[in-house]
A and B are shown apart, each in its own frame.
Chain A
Amino acid sequence: MNALSIFLPLCLLLLLAEGVLLLWLALRVGRGDDTDSLRQTTARLYRYATDGGLPPPPRTARARQQMAESLFSLTRHLSLLSPTERERLGRRCSLTYHLVRRAERGGAFATADALQLLSVLPLSDDYAERIARLSPAEPLAQLYRLLILVCHSPDRVAEILSGSSLPAYLVPHLVARLEECRVEIPCRSLFATRQSLPLLVALRVVARYELADYEEEVFGALTLPSGEVRFAALTALAKLGATVDRRIVEATSAMTLDERRGVMRLFLREGYSARALHLFDEAEAAVGSPLANYAARRLSLRKRNLIKI
């Protein structure tokens, strides 16, 4: 066996490997971006909305993905297609079928992607049940799963939220999307569940629309063990302009210094004066905390400035 008989095949193998990689790259780069084809798909969907003529069902997975993405973006920007028209489009072009299947079988991001696109397609009961059986770990997938289920059964909001999980930072996103979908959120029922996610949703609604009618329920949420719920309740009370009383100060007594500082800054951002927060100061001064007189010190950073931030 001489060097040449070893060297030549090795060289060929290396060149083959390099060639395969280059070919893949060339195809990927040569495809360029998808903006033009997305525009064309959007135009087809617009014609469907105005003339009623369904676009032809996509033949490839990529074309189907593009149609789903165009429909999603179109629905987020224009109230063009009614739920019936979207449902019909999803059924006739097999979008719903393939997206539900991808949500069930895909990895974390594939599931989140499919659920996001499904959130604008009304589902039948069968598909809704299949979505309900999913328990994705990815927070965005959880968000869209909840959105789909609540839009499908808006009379079961409390039940759906009680049986689901969602990180607290995504609750405002969920509430905003439910508002866009015109879903009525039954705050009293959600407060009555005493469970984390329904309470966070209800507190967010109260804060967003400054619903003073629910002030007592919000005070009730201050006594719950969940730190996230208590912080959301404090946020809601700050938005409502509630008087800072013993109940609020008691709720913060279990918090650490950093968290109490965060709460005081929250109230300051909502326009409370140092005098309105005097109970905080007294409680902090009683334990010799560095946060005594914090509100007055923060407000002096805005002295001689009449603007409220």
Chain B
Amino acid sequence: MRKILLAFPSPIAAESLSLVLGTLGAQIIVAASARAMVEELMADSYSLLLTGYLAPFMCGDDLVDRLSRRSAPRPTIFVISHLRCEHSLLSLYESGVDQFLSFPLSPPRLLRKVAEELSSRP
């Protein structure tokens, strides 16, 4: 079964996204903080990460590199945030994030993207 990790500063964002993604039939885990998110990612194997935390990708932790070096395939990473400035977006892509989406999200569009991503993974 596919596993999706959600990590957002706002508990309502995490709750609403888990409700939207609940229809996909994947197992959804919610991390309470950025630190908990990183610990979960290193401890287990996930198909997809949806997060609103930018700092783990831009603080020198090289999170994506560390995930890539493991034997298990790294999760696809979607960052979802209210931020829209070009500098932040380019920095995220440079650090290995796969996709950036901005709030407010359209649930059908999100479902389509996530479903496509999950089906394209081995």
Q: How large is the interface on A (under 10, 10 to 19, 20 to 34, 35 or more residues)?
A: 10 to 19
Chain B residues within an 8 Å CB radius of A80: 16, 107
Chain A residues within an 8 Å CB radius of B11: 35, 38-39
Cα A235 to Cα B10 in complex, Å, equals 33
Residues on B lying within 8 angstroms of A by beta carbon are 10-13, 15-17, 19-20, 82, 103-107
Cα A38 to Cα B103 in complex, Å, equals 19
Residue of chain B at shortest CB distance from A75: B104
Q: Does A10 contact B (CB under 8 A)?
A: no
Chain B residues within an 8 Å CB radius of A76: 82, 103-104
Residues on A lying within 8 angstroms of B by beta carbon are 35, 38-39, 42-43, 46, 70, 73-80, 180
Residue of chain B at shortest CB distance from A39: B15
Cα A19 to Cα B14 in complex, Å, equals 40
Contact A79 B19 (CB under 8 A): no
Question: Which of B16, B82, B106 contacts A74, CB < 8 Å?
Answer: B16
Cα A42 to Cα B103 in complex, Å, equals 17
**Secondary structure type dominating chain B contacts:** helix
A77-B106 CB under 8 A given contacts A39-B15, A42-B16, A43-B15 = no
Residue of chain B at shortest CB distance from A208: B84
Closest beta carbon of chain A to B37's beta carbon, Å: 17
Closest beta carbon of chain B to A270's beta carbon, Å: 13
Cα A272 to Cα B59 in complex, Å, equals 29
**Secondary structure type dominating chain A contacts:** helix
Closest beta carbon of chain B to A179's beta carbon, Å: 9
Chain B residues within an 8 Å CB radius of A180: 104
Contact B13 A73 (CB under 8 A): yes
| Residue among A74, A76, A77, A79 with most chain B CB within 10 A | A77
Contact A43 B19 (CB under 8 A): yes
Cα A35 to Cα B32 in complex, Å, equals 12
Cα A42 to Cα B82 in complex, Å, equals 20
Chain A residues within an 8 Å CB radius of B16: 42, 46, 74, 77-78, 80
Closest beta carbon of chain A to B34's beta carbon, Å: 17
Residue of chain A at shortest CB distance from B52: A77
A79-B10 CB under 8 A given contacts A39-B15, A42-B15 = no
Contact B15 A79 (CB under 8 A): no
A-B residue pairs, 7 tightest by C-beta: A73-B12, A46-B19, A77-B13, A39-B15, A79-B104, A42-B15, A79-B106
Cα A77 to Cα B13 in complex, Å, equals 6
Cα A293 to Cα B22 in complex, Å, equals 61
Contact A77 B10 (CB under 8 A): yes
> Could you give 16 example pairs across A and B, Cβ below 8 Å?
A38-B11, A38-B12, A38-B15, A39-B11, A39-B15, A42-B16, A43-B15, A74-B12, A78-B16, A78-B17, A78-B20, A78-B105, A78-B106, A78-B107, A80-B16, A180-B104
